[in-house]
Amino acid sequence: MAEKRIFNYKQALVIRADLKMSTGKIASQAAHAAVSAAEKCRKTKPEWFKAWIDEGQKKVVLKAADESELRKLLMQAEALGLPAALVEDAGLTEVPPGTVTALGVGPAPSELVDRVTGKLKLL
């Protein structure tokens, strides 16, 4: 039987559910959020970044109702001192330029990420 791994750090990627983006578009927006938030973490909380990398880079992909909810989550993350990044699309494919599509929170200690995103549903 496989041993259960314990993850002390994670990253949450939150996607707007109201935009009705294609699967590929959602994947690319999640990737933008993941890289942007991880890079912010690497610069501001290098010890969190290293621990998250060493653990295997746990991620969870969640959904938010709309842009307003994403912005509220961003403010909560920033109030807790978590690295977070809002994604604004370039508008080359499915949504108009400047559309806020996703939010990356963390990597950070799991209990802190959960304080911001713990009530959201999986995408």
**What does the pLDDT profile of the chain (123 residues) look like in tens digits?**
667 778 999 999 999 999 999 999 999 999 999 999 999 999 999 999 999 999 999 999 999 999 999 999 999 999 999 999 999 999 999 999 999 999 999 999 999 999 999 999 999
Number of Cβ within a 10 Å radius of residue 106: 31
Topology (CATH) of 9-122: Bit1 (3.40.1490)
Sort strands 59-64 and 9-16 into parallel, antiparallel or unpaired.
parallel
Domain boundaries, the chain: 9-122
- Strand ranges inside the chain, DSSP E: 9-16, 59-64, 84-88, 100-109, 121-122
- Token pair, residue 33, equals 């959020």
Q: In what helix (H) or strand (E) does residue 65 lie, and over which residues does it extend?
A: none
The answer to whether 28 and 34 have CB atoms below 8 angstroms apart is no
The SS3 of residue 68 is helix
**Is the CB of residue 49 less than 8 Å from the CB of residue 110?**
no
